[in-house]
């Protein structure tokens, strides 16, 4: 069954838990050149070739098992509409490995003609002499990705201020990032996104203005923003303990976020999700699957999947993940990695709280089509309360956060749980 011939999944009239068609794949690449000062994601700095080969073998094995077991569990894997290499630093991989995984996924599941294949990339993988992947020139590296099928790159730019990049222990300079983005564009990558952070120590609104000026001169059609969370055990956690005055407070961070939003709107980006901005048609297809609460496959250590109404998360250790994937009694559909069996009640809540992240909100007709009840009837009390306080807007078509509600999204969402 080819999903491109059908309505989007989230429009299909079936109960949430019964939806068993999946056409998105996430691959977790747990390797980085080095650790950034704020990061507590599962990633290994400077992995050697043996470990990377073991991971690559494990991914191929897991994909094969997903294909075999899907059938046994009544899950239909449609030709893939999206593949997303996230990490970690997927661009740390040799391009042959990226090509091998895409080709294998295509053999197993098929790819739709317009499959969106995203590679999260750090600029130093393309530009600079820092353990550059493949030891090839940047243009050749990107050309190989394009040949492999990558058509979307999400760059970890984070800041346009070199001192903030150094403080965050990023491995690139602004100049290198600009060059890397231009090389990707010249190589024919049609969709380019950059990540920007707010709330970094010593960061000011002027830094945001400078980031906006940088974005304005780059060939990018998507921007994701991330507010810094200081995680325990990271260098920033220790830095904050010693110099709390260096970290912007909530008001300062809110100002930065507002400035970023205003500036991106002025540049023609649409604010389509709480932290994401895109030119028309350049929204992240893969991430929309998450916000629509649609199912997706996932492979790799620490990767989370959602299939047939079950959320699973792989072990966040390469050794445990490998042994689990190879265990005939476990594998990608094993009980050991079940995080949650989503019943209809939870499914309704998920559709609501994930949909509220989108600026267009939750479509009432789609909600009814999916869950056989109007969301305004189901969540009448919560919606009425936040309408009165001005944080939610409810029309005949949709329920969405108001412009003032965007700053209090967490508060609103919590009320639906």
Write out the residues near ligand SF4 by the rule CB under 6 A. Answer: 32, 35-36, 39, 41, 43, 87-89, 122, 156
Query: Which residue, chain included where needed, has tokens 């998920």?
Result: 350
| Helical ranges in 73-173 per DSSP H | 95-109, 138-148, 162-167
Minimum CB separation from ligand SF4 for residue 33, in Å? 7
Minimum CB separation from ligand SF4 for residue 46, in Å? 11
Nearer to ligand SF4, 318 or 352 (CB): 318
Nearer to ligand SF4, 316 or 393 (CB): 316
Position closest to ligand SF4 via CB: 39
Nearer to ligand SF4, 26 or 379 (CB): 26
Nearer to ligand SF4, 122 or 284 (CB): 122
Q: Are strands 398-401 and 392-394 parallel, antiparallel or unpaired?
A: antiparallel
Please give the C-alpha separations between residue 238 and each of 27, 145, 234, 325, 400, in angstroms, as whole numbers. 32, 38, 7, 37, 39
- CA distance linking residue 385 with residue 139, whole number of Å: 55
Minimum CB separation from ligand SF4 for residue 144, in Å? 21
Minimum CB separation from ligand SF4 for residue 186, in Å? 24
Specify whether the CB–CB gap between 71 and 65 falls below 8 A.
no
Nearer to ligand SF4, 87 or 263 (CB): 87
**Separation of CA 62 from chain center:** 21
Return the closest-CA partner of residue 95 out of 113, 58, 121, 116: 121
Nearer to ligand SF4, 303 or 352 (CB): 303
Minimum CB separation from ligand SF4 for residue 399, in Å? 34
Minimum CB separation from ligand SF4 for residue 187, in Å? 22
Count each helix (H run) and each strand (E run) in the chain, helices first: 15, 17
Return the closest-CA partner of residue 312 out of 320, 323, 303: 303
């Amino acid at each position: 069954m080819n999903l491109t011939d059908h309505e989007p999944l989230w429009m299909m009239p079936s109960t949430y838990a019964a939806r068993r068609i999946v056409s998105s794949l996430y691959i977790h690449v747990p390797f980085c050149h080095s650790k950034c000062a704020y990061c507590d994601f599962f990633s290994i700095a400077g992995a050697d070739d043996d470990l990377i080969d073991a991971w690559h073998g494990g991914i191929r094995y897991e994909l094969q098992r997903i294909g075999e077991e899907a059938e046994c569990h009544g899950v239909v894997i449609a030709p893939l509409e999206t593949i997303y290499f996230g990490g970690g630093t997927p661009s740390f991989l040799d391009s042959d490995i990226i090509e091998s995984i895409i080709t294998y996924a295509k053999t197993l599941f098929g790819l739709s003609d317009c499959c969106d294949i995203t590679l999260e990339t750090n600029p130093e993988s393309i530009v600079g002499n820092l353990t550059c992947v493949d030891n090839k020139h940047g243009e050749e590296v990107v050309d190989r990705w394009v040949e492999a099928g990558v058509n979307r790159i999400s760059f970890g730019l984070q800041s346009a201020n070199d001192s903030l990049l150094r403080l965050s222990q990023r491995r690139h300079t602004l100049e290198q990032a600009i060059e890397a983005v231009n090389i990707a564009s010249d190589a024919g990558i049609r969709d380019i996104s950059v990540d920007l952070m707010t709330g970094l120590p010593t960061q000011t609104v002027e830094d945001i203005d400078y980031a906006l000026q940088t974005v304005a001169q780059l060939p990018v059609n998507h921007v994701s923003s991330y507010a810094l969370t200081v995680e325990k055990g990271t260098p920033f956690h220790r830095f904050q303990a010693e110099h709390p005055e260096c970290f912007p407070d909530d008001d300062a961070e809110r100002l930065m976020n507002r400035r970023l939003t205003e500036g991106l709107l002025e540049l023609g980006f649409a604010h389509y999700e709480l932290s994401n901005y895109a030119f028309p048609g350049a929204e992240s297809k893969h991430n929309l699957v998450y916000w629509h609460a649609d199912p997706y496959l996932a492979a790799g250590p620490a990767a989370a999947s959602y299939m047939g109404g079950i959320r699973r998360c792989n072990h966040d250790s390469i050794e445990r993940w490998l042994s689990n994937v190879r265990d005939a009694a476990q594998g990608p559909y094993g009980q050991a990695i079940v995080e949650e069996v989503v019943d209809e009640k939870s499914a309704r809540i998920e559709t609501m709280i994930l949909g509220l992240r989108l600026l267009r909100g939750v479509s009432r007709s789609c909600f009814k089509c999916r869950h056989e009840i109007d969301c305004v009837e189901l969540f009448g009390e919560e919606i009425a309360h936040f309408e009165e306080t001005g944080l939610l807007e409810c029309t005949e078509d949709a329920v969405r956060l108001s412009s003032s509600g965007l700053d209090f999204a967490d508060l609103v969402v919590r009320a639906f749980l």
